[in-house]
């Protein structure tokens, strides 16, 4: 969506890259800070239920498109792990990190595929988020099933985590599209 907005404003390539890089850094920062706040307020069970890192990743995919979104989806858990490891309490846990990288990459890439459509019709953010959530969670489950013999995460454990996070996913399926539609209206209002 941001690419289309910048193109409508005849922004130069350097400006497009700078804006997308700044938005990416902001989303990664939010993906690090938001889980910390949720864990501080509600503990680890709150993180499992509300899935706070997912919200900025879905937002990033919708706003940045699949390429930049993919980068944000991969980097967010890595940056979070690196920063929180310095404090002695890595988040996500090391055993969960590879799974989270893949899952969030899928979230961002799938929602990012809708970026152009969202710019034309903000309501497209709803299927973008829903399909990204389903694809990401199914990918997480499939990878756990494939690697359960060598990983502490079995398909059964992952299925339980998916069920625990259902309320957070439903909430994000509503919040993210409305946030994206609001930003879309805000960014495109002067061109209409």
For residue 19, count other CB atoms closer than 10 A to its CB: 16
Are the C-beta atoms of 95 and 162 separated by less than 8 Å? no
91 by Cβ neighbours in 10 Å (0-12 / 13-18 / 19+) ranks as buried
Q: What is the pTM of this model?
A: 0.94
Domain ranges of the chain: 2-191
Are the C-beta atoms of 139 and 99 separated by less than 8 Å? no
Cα–Cα dist 53/168, whole Å: 11
Mean pLDDT score, 78-89: 94
Return the CATH class of domain 2-191: mainly alpha
Q: Over the stretch 108-166, which tens digit does the pLDDT of each residue have?
A: 999 999 999 998 999 999 999 999 999 999 999 999 999 999 988 899 999 999 999 99
Output the pLDDT for position 164. Answer: 96
Output the pLDDT for position 151. Answer: 87
């Amino acid at each position: 969506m941001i690419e289309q907005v910048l193109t409508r404003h005849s922004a130069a390539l350097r400006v497009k890259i700078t804006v997308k890089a700044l938005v990416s850094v902001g989303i990664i920062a939010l993906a690090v800070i938001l889980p910390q706040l949720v864990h501080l307020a509600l503990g680890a069970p709150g993180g499992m239920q509300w899935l706070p890192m997912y919200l900025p990743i879905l937002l990033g995919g919708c706003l940045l498109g699949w390429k930049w979104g993919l980068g944000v989806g991969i980097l967010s858990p890595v940056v979070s792990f690196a920063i929180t490891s310095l404090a002695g309490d890595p988040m996500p846990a090391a055993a969960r990190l590879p799974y989270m990288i893949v899952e969030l990459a899928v979230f961002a890439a799938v929602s990012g595929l809708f970026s152009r459509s969202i710019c034309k019709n903000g309501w497209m953010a709803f299927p973008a988020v829903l399909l990204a959530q389903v694809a990401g969670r199914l990918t997480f489950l499939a990878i756990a099933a494939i690697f359960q013999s060598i990983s502490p995460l079995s398909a059964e454990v992952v299925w339980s985590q998916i069920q625990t996070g259902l309320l957070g996913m439903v909430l994000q399926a509503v919040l993210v599209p409305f946030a994206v539609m609001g930003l879309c209206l805000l960014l495109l209002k002067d061109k209409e």
